[in-house]
Structure 1
Amino acid sequence: MPDVLRLGQGEPVPARIAAVGCGGAGCNILQQIPAELGITRAALNDAPHRSMAGIPSRLILPREPLAGLASMDEAAVKQLTSPEEKAIAGAILNHDLVVPLAGLGGETGGPAAALVGRVARILNSATLAIVASPFGAEGINRRMAAERALSLLTKKADGVVSFPNDELLKLAPQLPLLKAFEVLGAIMARPLVDLARSTTRTDVATLRDALRKAPRWRFGGGGGRERHRAFEAVEEAFASPWLPADPDTVERIVVIAAASDYAESVATEVAHEVRLAAPRAAIVLGGYADPTLGDRLRVSLLAGW
């Protein structure tokens, strides 16, 4: 049976995390990240946009060279010589974990996220990209562009968590399209917020190793109350429309639990329920106390396969 690795066991120094919103959609997701978390936030776009408002670091870069620069092999071209690479490096330098956020299918978000991944890799920072793919109603051209962007991004980031937009409609089929984008942005911010609250600097190597061992990652979230709260939270997380229907296909899991009374006993119970749900998966488990949750246990789960 695969091991359960624990986050938060090393030096109690929070990981230095930089989140880069790429394109309009990525910057909208970035707006969902609370400023008080201490995450370095940078907004990147090819022109000023209202989604960049209030973000401390703003990068305006031409879209045309982004994909070409991102496509360069880091092993062969290790120097950051272009103005675009230098601008990104200035925003993410000296961070343990870099998180590009983007909506795929447009001309800026996907290529920019891949370039952020290239620059972060050269700077020896771990990378976890969080991206959304287009709704089917947005047309074949955007879907094909999203597939190309995702293919490039998976070569540049240690792990990519993708959120196919159409799956959101299974959660709320009556949701208007604009409202759906807003709800999806809040959901996509959740794993980053939980990682920021539970990950130390020494944890980043463990996280990076887990991310690199699965080519695709998806998110599931759940909550529970009272006696069987761990069972309920894990069951709801695995019922996420973004996760595979058969949990036996999942090979890697990163799970973050939060509760007002979070302690070793809670961690053990969550690990037990995740192990029962996905017996083949290697598990990385973290958690933190959140007094705002009252009697509720919340679970954020990244599944890789």
Structure 2
Amino acid sequence: MPDIWQLGTEDERARVAIIGCGGAGCNILRHVTSPPPAIRIALNDAVHPSMADIPSRVLVPAGSLQAYASMDEKAVQTMETDEEKKISAVLLDRDVILILGGLGGELGGWGMGLVGRVARILGDATLALATVPFTMEGPIRRQLAEAQLQLLQKRVDGVVTFSNDRLLQVARDLPLTKAFAALGAIMARPASSLSDVLGRSDVARLRRMLGRVREWRFGMGAGREKHRCFVAVEEAYASPWFTSLPEEVRYAVVLVSSPDAGADATEILRQIRLRSPQAELAWAILSHPPDDDRAVVQVLGGV
């Protein structure tokens, strides 16, 4: 049977940095809660209203990011540019870097790749959560997003993608600005949860897991009453961005929040094992609001 192991069992928390790149990334970052020692960082080419409550900021010109992000860290092992030095200054003494942003623009997509390059030179584990443009935004933007995604997959340990097209499945009746805010809140959940639960001893093993597969997917579900665990896992696997067949999942990070966390975690892991019998599982119990009677599960699935 594939391995199963628990995250967050030690007292020393991993030192996590969550960095939002570009306008989309900074908007997602606003929804992230990051208890110490985690920190939030905004990266953009100018001060934007979405950066208002984020004290740590890095301002870089967009024009040079593609060239710098494309430099292979094995061939060019030192950080010589001002942009790299600015980014490395805010990422020093971190263990894990969570990178948020949107693909398809001139700043966010290339900025995520550059952050990944700097983090790798510094020796940090990296996970990126990135949006993919709507099909209706046209082939040029989609092609740019694909190029940025291919580079990002070379620069970070794992990439979770969120298609904007699938956003319409969950927020079809909302105005577009509110739909994007809803997506930002969804993407912020795993970033907030991982920054809260990871221990320093988890980092190396998690990094190896992230790097073993090319594509990662995210799903979240919630259930109440007697069959809450079954319903929560069923919803997570049916999430719009969890597009893989259950049996194709080879690695999964499972984050559980429940009023009866111990018993529910056991049942949730059993339900996931039934759907994805070949998956190696890393799991954690999150803090749970006292007035919430739901079992909530987040699944990051690697295929």
Q: How many angstroms does 1:37 deviate by? A: 5.6
In 2, are the aligned partners of 1:30 and 1:41 still within 8 Å (CA)? Answer: yes
In the alignment, does 2:292 pair up with 1:302?
no
Q: TM-score, normalised to structure 1's length? A: 0.95
In 1, are the aligned partners of 2:221 and 2:234 still within 8 Å (CA)? Answer: yes
- Alignment-derived partner of residue 192 in structure 2: 193
Within-5 A mapping of 1:238-277: 238-263=237-262, 265-277=263-275
In the alignment, does 2:80 pair up with 1:71?
no
Q: Deviations over 1:191-246 (max 9, x none)?
A: 11111222111111121111101101111000111222111111100001112352
Q: Deviations over 1:64-92 (max 9, x none)?
A: 11111111111121111111001000111
Q: How many residue pairs get matched?
A: 303
**Between the two proteins, what is the percent identity of the paired residues?**
50
Q: TM-score, normalised to structure 2's length? A: 0.96
- AA partner of residue 244 (structure 1): T
- Alignment-derived partner of residue 111 in structure 1: 110
Counterparts of 1:98 and 1:260 in 2: how far apart (Å)?
30
- AA partner of residue 4 (structure 1): I
* Structure 1 runs, 4 residues or longer, greater than 6 Å off: none
Q: Tell me the secondary structure at the aligned position of residue 115 of structure 1.
A: helix
Counterparts of 1:206 and 1:184 in 2: how far apart (Å)?
29
In 2, are the aligned partners of 1:4 and 1:271 still within 8 Å (CA)? Answer: no
In 1, are the aligned partners of 2:34 and 2:195 still within 8 Å (CA)? Answer: no
Q: Deviations over 1:136-171 (max 9, x none)?
A: 222222111111110100000000011011111112
In 1, are the aligned partners of 2:35 and 2:196 still within 8 Å (CA)? Answer: no
Q: How many angstroms does 1:38 deviate by? A: 4.5
Counterparts of 1:283 and 1:39 in 2: how far apart (Å)?
24
Compare 247-256 and 111-120 and name the one that shifted more. 247-256
In 2, are the aligned partners of 1:194 and 1:300 still within 8 Å (CA)? Answer: no
In 2, are the aligned partners of 1:198 and 1:256 still within 8 Å (CA)? Answer: no
- AA partner of residue 2 (structure 2): P
In 2, are the aligned partners of 1:31 and 1:51 still within 8 Å (CA)? Answer: yes
Unaligned runs of 5+ in 2: none
Q: How many angstroms does 1:261 deviate by? A: 3.2
Q: How many angstroms does 1:173 deviate by? A: 2.1
- AA partner of residue 52 (structure 2): A
Q: Tell me the secondary structure at the aligned position of residue 252 of structure 2.
A: strand
- Alignment-derived partner of residue 288 in structure 1: 286
RMSD of aligned alpha carbons: 1.4
Q: Tell me the secondary structure at the aligned position of residue 286 of structure 2.
A: strand
- Alignment-derived partner of residue 50 in structure 1: 49
Within-5 A mapping of 1:202-217: 202-217=201-216
